[in-house]
Amino acid sequence: MAILLSLGRFTLGRAVGVGFAKINGISLIRRTMHLQQNQAFVNGKWVGARSGETFEITNPANEQVIGTVPDMDVDDVNEAIGSAYDAFYDKGWHNSTAKERAALLKKWFHLLEINRQEIARIMTAESGKPIAESLGEISYGNSFVEWFAEEARRIYGEIVPTPQANRQMMLVKQPVGVAGLITPWNFPHAMITRKASAAIAAGCTVVIKPAEDTPLTALALTKLAEEAGFPKGVFNVITSSRKNAASIGELLCKSEKVAAISFTGSTEVGRLLYKQCSDGIKRIGLELGGNAPFIVFSSADLDKAVTGAMNSKFRNCGQTCISANRFLIQDEIHDEFIARLTEKIKALKIGDGSHDGVQIGPLINHSQVNKVTEFVEDAKQKGAHVVYGGHQLSQHGALFFEPTIITHLRDDMRLYKEEIFGPVVSVIRFKTEEEALQIANASQRGLAGYFYSNDLNQVFRVSKLLETGMIGINEGLISSAEAAFGGIKESGIGREGSKYGIDEYVYIKYLCYGSLE
Ligand code: NAP
């Protein structure tokens, strides 16, 4: 049954069509909107940079300009921080109830669901992601908003049994205040909702800085947050080009009005932000780069392992932080696994992500193309075997790279040691479980790992010994709002999603009621 969704007193502007969504089994119809914005959002208003500067966003599939947004600097960001601070303290957001926050997040979630097609169009245009993957990311990203809308009402404290009869001891959780959120281009929607909905559920206000390459998706989400009715100053988004990213990051880390930083991106930038937060002993959550091992033991179901390898490696053209980065394949099944995987790789459909059936789009920018090309050339020169691919695909566009499989990796090759962030399968052959674990753990990164085995004892042993924050066991796609996402070692601190995602944005206050009679 289709019903018209009623979202209380809010009204939609600039409706363009009819959107359908099924939410919790209920079909909804609602007018959809044009969501592409060309201004940032501060204190409930759409604004340009004070300097008047803008920068262009291009489609990586054809390098055509698809929009412009304000190139904001520290003056603009100071204003956004001030508005988030005032909204939290002076305008009373810190006194909002969990029920009110949950209701706003639910409204936002419904609007995000209904406008999936328009958000996906924008995301594919600015990130190059195939449209089916954009829709997949939207489901994933929206699920955080729904999840944290639900979690908002379960941020429980504790009453602690006291050692003295005349005392009562309570632990309550309070929002930290303003949260500065810095996000990357590879998941332009989900990295924002995973942070912002947890922060808002906890009772914080937010200042979001999306990546230079993908601000349009961020602004589309913001348009819907505005429609959902968050009070002025609770939700702020500032856009900037790469030249201003470092000074904005430093301001967010050092401003006394910002209580917490949450960053997703490279380990190099994460390390810098961590240092910048140290002066003010500022709380920081870091979701950083990975170097995921993908181990296939000889007892594995090879069909499942090949499917898992394709899912883990080629999603978003290999540009995900949990993409399999080093394939470790046991000696006895090595050749068979490579043969089956190569057949699947050859069948991938490459092209502009907005076209039907495309599975591999372009890389995000020239610097990514140069990096992937350099890694492959380095491996070739040092004696690796290219089984398939290994070149740029200029017939599709300047940013396309061929899905590639390379064997005979050695530990002096960059492909072996560093995060590739591209459509390249690099394979290491191993003989024993101990050897596989030694290779897998010989990395300072520890975000995700994967292994395939049908030996129950081995499954338990390897799960315990693999040094990563997340493990896919006979599974290549592991992300979910219900799961705790995060790494160990240099892959980060803190967890996002799950019930633990809220902890990044609350502190525990201990209340001791004494002298009770
Ligand atoms: P990045 O260069 O670190 O950029 C991430 C964000 O930080 C962007 O908004 C960027 O702005 C901003 N930034 C750059 N330099 C900064 C500075 N000095 N101070 C403050 N902010 C700064 O990373 P990326 O290349 O966009 O993303 C790829 C990396 O992210 C990979 O290593 C990947 O593994 C990691 N990642 C991790 C996760 C996770 O959950 N663990 C998820 C996705 C991606 P500009 O765009 O304007 O430069």
Answer yes or no: is pLDDT of 20 > 60. no
* Contact assessment for residue 68 and residue 219, using Cβ atoms and an 8 Å cutoff: no
pLDDT tier for residue 33 given thresholds of 50, 70 and 90: confident
Least confident range from 10-19, 24-33, 245-254, 498-507: namely 10-19
C-alpha 270 – ligand 1 centre gap (Å): 8
Answer yes or no: is pLDDT of 4 > 50. no
The CA distances from residue 380 to 229, 414, 426, in Å, are 55, 11, 11
In a domain, 297, yes or no: yes
With a Cβ cut-off of 6 Å, ligand 1 is lined by 182-187, 209, 211-212, 242, 245-246, 249, 264-266, 269, 272-273, 287-290, 321, 419, 447, 492
104, 136: one domain: yes
Answer yes or no: is pLDDT of 1 > 60. no
Answer yes or no: is pLDDT of 329 > 70. yes
Cα–Cα distance for residue pair 418/292, rounded to 1 Å: 10
Work out the average pLDDT over 355-370. 97
Work out the average pLDDT over 425-437. 98
309, 447: one domain: yes
267, 368: one domain: no
Count CB atoms within 10 A of the CB of residue 45. 12
Question: Which segments of 90-185 does DSSP mark as H helices, in order?
Answer: 98-114, 116-127, 131-151
List the 324-330 sheet strands across, edge first.
Answer: 385-388, 404-407, 424-430, 324-330, 292-296, 448-452, 470-473
The residue assigned the tokens 């890389």 is 363
Work out the average pLDDT over 364-383. 97
Q: Which atom of ligand 1 is nearest to the CA of 487?
A: 41
In a domain, 342, yes or no: yes
C-alpha 184 – ligand 1 centre gap (Å): 5
193, 332: one domain: no
Residues near 210 by beta carbon (within 8 Å), at least 6 away in sequence: 183, 185, 188, 192, 217, 218, 237, 239
Cα–Cα distance for residue pair 69/48, rounded to 1 Å: 8
What mean pLDDT is reported for the chain?
94
Residues in the chain: 517
Cα–Cα distance for residue pair 260/258, rounded to 1 Å: 6
- The CATH number linked to 356 is 3.40.309.10
Residue type, 116: R
* Contact assessment for residue 287 and residue 264, using Cβ atoms and an 8 Å cutoff: yes
Work out the average pLDDT over 332-357. 97
Per the structure, how many domains does the chain have? 2
Residues near 344 by beta carbon (within 8 Å), at least 6 away in sequence: 306, 310
Centroid of chain to Cα 505: 17
pLDDT tier for residue 14 given thresholds of 50, 70 and 90: very low
In a domain, 57, yes or no: yes
Residue 99, helix vs strand vs coil:
helix
Answer yes or no: is pLDDT of 370 > 80. yes
Encoded tokens for 236: 């702020």
Count CB atoms within 10 A of the CB of residue 379. 26
Residue type, 361: G
Residue with CA nearest ligand 1 atom 30: 265
pLDDT at 27: 58
120, 256: one domain: yes
Residue 124, helix vs strand vs coil:
helix
301, 217: one domain: no
320, 411: one domain: yes
pLDDT tier for residue 395 given thresholds of 50, 70 and 90: very high
In a domain, 191, yes or no: yes
Q: Which atom of ligand 1 is nearest to the CA of 268?
A: 3
Render pLDDT for 111-160 as a digit per residue (tens, 0 to 9): 999 999 999 999 999 999 999 999 999 999 999 999 999 999 999 999 99
Answer yes or no: is pLDDT of 22 > 70. no
pLDDT at 11: 32
Q: Which atom of ligand 1 is nearest to the CA of 249?
A: 20
Catalytic member of 79, 133, 287, 402:
287
Q: 402: burial class by Cβ within 10 Å (0-12, 13-18, 19+)? A: buried
Residues near 92 by beta carbon (within 8 Å), at least 6 away in sequence: none
In a domain, 8, yes or no: no
Work out the average pLDDT over 165-182. 98
Encoded tokens for 323: 């993409």
277, 372: one domain: no
393, 501: one domain: no
Render pLDDT for 303-316 as a digit per residue (tens, 0 to 9): 999 999 999 999 99
- The CATH number linked to 238 is 3.40.605.10
501, 431: one domain: no
Catalytic member of 321, 419, 433, 496:
321
Cα–Cα distance for residue pair 373/371, rounded to 1 Å: 5
Residue type, 29: I
In a domain, 434, yes or no: yes
What domain range is 232 assigned to?
39-288+493-508
Q: 111: burial class by Cβ within 10 Å (0-12, 13-18, 19+)? A: buried
Q: Which is higher by pLDDT, 34 or 40?
A: 40
Across 60-155, where does the E strand assignment appear? 64-70
Count CB atoms within 10 A of the CB of residue 12. 16
Residues near 460 by beta carbon (within 8 Å), at least 6 away in sequence: none
In a domain, 515, yes or no: no
pLDDT at 193: 98
pLDDT tier for residue 258 given thresholds of 50, 70 and 90: very high
Residue 119, helix vs strand vs coil:
helix
pLDDT at 30: 58
Work out the average pLDDT over 435-441. 98
Q: What share of the chain is helix, strand, coil (3-state, %, to 5)?
A: 40, 25, 35
179, 244: one domain: yes
Residue type, 219: L
Cα–Cα distance for residue pair 387/408, rounded to 1 Å: 10
The pick from 73, 186, 243 for probing ligand 1's pocket by mutation, whose C-beta has the most ligand atoms within 8 angstroms, reads 186
* Contact assessment for residue 404 and residue 380, using Cβ atoms and an 8 Å cutoff: no
pLDDT at 31: 56
218, 308: one domain: no
In a domain, 59, yes or no: yes
* Contact assessment for residue 482 and residue 496, using Cβ atoms and an 8 Å cutoff: no
253 is annotated as an active-site residue: no
